[in-house]
A and B are shown apart, each in its own frame.
Chain A
């Protein structure tokens, strides 16, 4: 089992290393960027296939038996997350060929993207808490550089806020790991889960809160989300697309992992708190979006709002709720990345992200309008698209547990999401462009696109839109995979047994 489990980490690592050696050969870096991401996608499809067939898979790195060595674990949830990572990596790598300018590309853009993908994939696979911290840092440091690459004023300001808050979050995470190690004397998550039972419940709750805050900053939960709308609209669209798709979701993944495997001793307190936070996150995110008038800032606030839905299922802590969360994460990653990609194309065509300055793109690029409409309607939860299925599952899970308030909040927030999407649609696609067609000179001059460039920009958008559509139309099979993931999450004994099984 060693090979399929380590491939999602090794492929981006090798691609990044070779690209760095080929520093002067940009074409080779581009090639490796695209094929590395394609390799990651292939490896994750293979892994999901194996997990579907044989259940949870583990590898003890370096041959040290658990809990002493570092364990890589792939259950349904990890494998699903890896699959989406592969998809996003590939589409963004292709899109970057046109969207990222040559100076940025020649300053190691593609190797950095591969390292980011490696950090994300490894964070999904690791079964060791300190190792998770290390992969978080790998992911963070490459995201820092990607965010600041180009050194425009807005980028540096955004990066400063992003870096500071993420470092505080890492500090809290590390503190939590330190205290947890002091209390239980192990770092293997399966082993921790077993030993936490003998600990004083007050200490466990304290640790749970420490992890909730640390991962809450990374996942952009209320009231810790401020770094996100301050930074995500500053880098080039391809970078913000991959950030929007993957980075906060690693925080959500970590939250779901620790609050299903480790901190389940006092569900009445911890998970109710998560439920309350999820409601507040949804509402503040969507209200923040309404106040904005910049394409990517609206989308950034909607990320925050959507994180609320993903945590909602965790707060309900039922099989249907968690399956809804898993499905929602997948849906959200595809849709949100696509919306950011569309905003990037609008920027390339018009030279601005300002809704007042945009307009008339329906006539100029009808394919782009369709590429926006599908993910936007899906984000708002229109049937038959993927967002509808995800929200339906969460709402039903809410009814089953009699949490009517949160259901009402979730539905109201959907309506406001629709309002925001309609606002973008009107401003960018329908209304007449402002009388001075190309007023934005200076930083981002508009260059006419060549035919192959249009294809490279349109293919990722079309591909993601098709995935959103098929996730909605083939909801049955897709949701059954999410349910398998939820069943595993709610039965930590299976995870623990698979990881520590070799010991006996």
Chain B
């Protein structure tokens, strides 16, 4: 898994960036979602993978026996997922609203502010 996950992260970033560079707003949203997943997975991978060792403290001891899975990255990811969810929900609403107002899905046509 240690070898597979970095490639998964890389592919997610590449796919996300590719989607963001397309002209469609919906693809932009998909790109943003992919990027946030890539970041979460990257935190998970970069912090080191430990399999099947929950960070539980045994009786009469004060620290869990190493190696154990670090719980902090998972807490970070949980926070990042919640934030990412909120941001994506807002972005979807924004794209929906701007589709109604501008009547286009093409990012290249959003030029009224660039005169």
Contacts and interface: CB of A to CB of B under 8 A. Distances in A.
Contact of B87 (A133, A157, A167): A167
Nearest to A148: B94
A487 interface: no
Contacts of B101: 151-153, 156
Nearest to A354: B115
A154 B113 contact: yes
23 contacts: A130-B76, A137-B87, A141-B86, A148-B97, A151-B97, A152-B101, A153-B112, A156-B98, A157-B113, A160-B95, A163-B91, A164-B28, A167-B32, A167-B35, A167-B91, A170-B87, A174-B39, A175-B42, A178-B43, A178-B73, A181-B76, A182-B46, A230-B113
A181 B72 contact: yes
A119 B71 CA distance: 26
Interface of B: 20, 25, 28, 32, 35-36, 38-39, 42-43, 45-48, 70, 72-73, 76, 79-80, 83, 86-87, 90-91, 94-95, 97-98, 101-102, 107, 110-114
B90 A145 contact: yes
Most B C-beta atoms less than 10 A away, residue of A133, A159, A167, A168: A167
Nearest to A147: B94
Given A160-B95, A179-B46, A182-B46, A234 B113 contact: yes
Interface of A: 130, 133-134, 137, 140-141, 144-145, 148, 151-154, 156-161, 163-164, 167-168, 170-171, 174-175, 177-179, 181-183, 185, 187, 230-231, 233-234
B112 A160 contact: no
Contacts of B86: 141
A178 B113 contact: no
B48 to A, nearest CB: 7
Nearest to A186: B72
Contacts of A144: 87, 90, 94
Contacts of A148: 94, 97
Nearest to B111: A157
Most A C-beta atoms less than 10 A away, residue of B91, B101, B113: B113
A187 B79 CA distance: 14
B42 A233 contact: no
Contacts of A141: 86-87, 90
Given A151-B101, A156-B94, A175-B42, 20 more contacts: A130-B79, A137-B87, A151-B97, A152-B101, A153-B102, A154-B113, A156-B102, A159-B98, A160-B94, A164-B20, A164-B28, A168-B20, A171-B39, A174-B39, A174-B80, A177-B43, A178-B43, A181-B43, A187-B72, A231-B113
A231 B110 CA distance: 12
B47 to A, nearest CB: 5
Given A130-B76, A182-B46, A182-B47, A157 B39 contact: no
A175 B17 CA distance: 14
Nearest to A158: B113
Contacts of A179: 42, 46
Contacts of A159: 94, 98
A174 B70 CA distance: 18
**6 closest A-B pairs (Cβ-Cβ)?**
A182-B46, A178-B43, A156-B98, A157-B110, A174-B39, A171-B35
Contact of B83 (A137, A153, A156): A137
Contact of A156 (B46, B80, B87, B97): B97
Contacts of B39: 171, 174-175, 178
Nearest to A231: B113
